[in-house]
Structure 1
Amino acid sequence: MTDAGAAADDGGGNTWLTRSGLLLAVVLLVGVAGTGIVRRQLGLLGYNQVGRLVFLLGYGGTILIVWYGWLRPLDISGPSDEDVTYGDDEE
């Protein structure tokens, strides 16, 4: 891998479209739009119930993949008790 590819991977570069961002966009596109298109085509062919199942599994799978890959690793906790200061401690 080249240095330019490594800079794009860690988000430290000046580009807004990283490999992780591109993968997220593809997962969302396939998971939402792709399963919606497949569901519609199955409905047109007379397999409406199968189409609903495909859409539910695809959409639900997309939610789980996005949560596991991008949301779960985020540290969204607040400050710990040691980091919190109340008022002026200099006496």
Structure 2
Amino acid sequence: MTDEDAEAEPADGQLFELTRDKVLLVALLVVGIAGSGLVRRFLGELGYNDLGAIVFVLGYGGMIFAIWYGWIRPMDITGPN
């Protein structure tokens, strides 16, 4: 095993380590996509189709914003100097 291979692998050998950030990201995705979709369908069946569409757009858009704000924005994405 070379030094480059050792740096690529986690120290304890677990590739898919469950961390708080990963659990939060999965929960945010589930609520943002499935949760807002279920609420949209429920409101549509009750006759509030327009309100359901607004809830879905706000839920999905809020999820996108939260992922951008929490994970993507803090990244330092720069090229080589």
Fold match by TM threshold 0.5: yes
Which structure dedicates a bigger proportion of its chain to helix?
2
Greater than 3 Å deviation, 4+ residue runs: 11-15
Paired with 2:58 and 2:11, the residues of 1 have a C-alpha distance of 35
Deviation for aligned residue 1:12: 6.8
- Matches of 1:53 and 1:65 in 2, distance apart? 18
Q: Which residue of 2 aligns with 1:30?
A: 31
1:73 is matched with which residue?
A: 74
Q: CA deviation at 1:65?
A: 0.2
Letter in 1 for 2:71: W
Q: State the identity as a percent.
A: 56
In structure 2, runs of 5+ residues without a counterpart are 1-9
TM-score, with structure 1 as normaliser? 0.71
**Residue 23 of structure 2 aligns to which amino acid in structure 1?**
L
Larger RCO of the pair (alpha carbons < 8 Å, separation 6+): 2
Structure 1 unaligned blocks of 5 or more: 1-10, 81-91
Aligned residues: 70
Rg larger for = 1
- When the two chains are superposed, the root-mean-square deviation of aligned CA atoms in Å is 1.7
With normalisation by structure 2, the TM-score equals: 0.79
Query: For 1:19-78, what per-residue CA distance to the aligned partner results, in whole angstroms no more than 9, with x for missing partners?
Result: 001000000100111000000000001000000000000000000000000111112211
1:43 aligns to 2:53 (yes or no): no
